[in-house]
Amino acid sequence: ALAVFFNLVFEGVQSLLGVRWVPGFATIIIAHVAFNISFVAIVVRARLATMDPTLEEAAGDLGANPMVAFWKVTFPILMPGVLAGGLLAFTLSLDDFVVTFFNAGVGTTTLPLYVYGMLKQRVPPEINAISTLMIAASIALVGASLIFQRSEARDRT
């Protein structure tokens, strides 16, 4: 029932906008953005809640207009939350096979669809290689994050 509802809504939006989208890479991106935007918003909102509002006021008192105050004061403070939200969204998108499967068109192959297609036959060496690269990249990102946090803590003292 939900699939029929979304199909009707999607058809209605297409007719209103006067465009015709066939399922493919664009629909996958739209679906993943719609699915992951709430996770990113929660992470960024948590970072925003810990921000001291007097910093923006001080920037304004020193002559910065609101746009300069945002880019020079607010955005650098929010940047760890934005990066964490982006990595979380990327991880969830990489893992979410169902959203990709239902929104992919004919001829659209993403990594989750490729892995699923290979698993239906047997586990080929390519899947093992991709898994190894993903684990290595994850370990490298965690290591880089730890090094960055330690250097930042060292600079504060």
Q: What is the pLDDT of residues 81-104, one digit of tens each?
A: 999 999 999 888 888 888 888 888
**DSSP secondary structure code for residue 70 in this structure:** I
Under 8 Å between Cβ of 109 and 23? no
Question: Which carries the bigger pLDDT value, residue 107 or residue 135?
Answer: 135
Residue 1: predicted pLDDT: 63
Give the number of other Cβ atoms within 10 Å of residue 83's Cβ: 14
Whether the pLDDT of residue 13 is over 80: the answer is no
Distance CA 123, CA 129 (A): 11
CA angle 102, 113, 21 (to 5 degrees): 45
Residue 108: predicted pLDDT: 82
Residue 154: predicted pLDDT: 87
Distance CA 144, CA 56 (A): 30
